[in-house]
Structure 1
Amino acid sequence: MVPRNRSVRRTKAALQSALVDLLLEQKNLQSVTVQAICDRANISRSTFYLHFENKDEVLSSYLLQMIGRVHDALRAWTGSDDTRWTVYFAHIAHIAPILGSLSLDGGPHAILSRYERQFAVIMQDLVMPGRVPTNDTAVGYAAHYLSGGLLALTWWWVEEDRCGTPAQEMSRRYHALCSGQLCP
């Protein structure tokens, strides 16, 4: 059974990698076809459809993996609170070309809105771990507020092509905003 799982993971990873490569080359999701993804990954269309319904699902699975990696890195952070988000902004700077290609389709906000709930769970885990029960409504409000602010800041940072601002500086600014401070 283990080899099959590895094979599935490799196939999905190959399809995700092919989509990312095509997004970086073609600069928009609409111009990428399932056949192009299959050709790049050297995988048949029938195999593609065994794993994914469409290219949006491939992208979603890729983004969920990235979110999981960022969450793990944020949980493992041992630095100061004001630099914790350096991990997040460094990751966003790394995938900014992919996110930027989605902006051309008008899709980034729709795509990230799918993940806002996941980001809220991450916020609750990172900002308020074990402080109150997870079903506490006030915690839910705060977690969604913080994740919504982070996602809005993320899209501004990508769409305005400001990814040259160092991740540590963006972390400091985000921390200041979360603390109710305006920052220069």
Structure 2
Amino acid sequence: MSQYHEVTGDHPVLQRWASGEWVSYAQQLLTSAGYPPQDHQIDGLFGPLTQEAVRDFQGAHGLTVDGIIGPATWAALESSSSNGSGSLQLEYAAAPAIQGGGLQWTVRNSGTGPAAAGESAGSYEMYDSNNTTIPGGSVPLASELAPGTESGTLGVNLIEHTPNDGSYQASVQLGNDIHFVDYLVEHGSVRTP
């Protein structure tokens, strides 16, 4: 997508039910960055599908996940969509799994441009047996990842987040791809059920 909607003035804060050219511009930036609304519509309407695309983008870029396009999200969208160095496409090379007492995975850059150090290589959170969400975070790439290459092992120490004995589930989101992993904590160690 080489031509964006024409917009003028300061970047407005956009949230659900907003409409207009700024929303169309944001939808184009989301699509260019690899996070199109699920219906792939660039219609200038900030509905639930655009909000979900914004949330996915925010989670993958280590931003506050609130579904609102404010200054930080605008900056990340415009940076991701106009870096001129090719497309970035991180995907799982090895899906998240319980290994060595933690949650581990690797990613591959299948795009045409480099992934910068600090780029999110997955956002995670956990859920207890009552389905209560335990906040997680984002795991950044430690170094630049060239096109066609894989990261080293990425991971999360689950005991830091879920120290009490019990059954849990972790989710790791990379772009639109989400993996869920069940695990048990027993006497300070993590294992698969």
Q: TM-score, normalised by structure 2?
A: 0.25
Q: Which is bigger in relative contact order (C-alpha 8 A, separation at least 6)?
A: 1
Structure 1 or 2: more strand by fraction: 2
Q: TM-score, normalised by structure 1?
A: 0.26
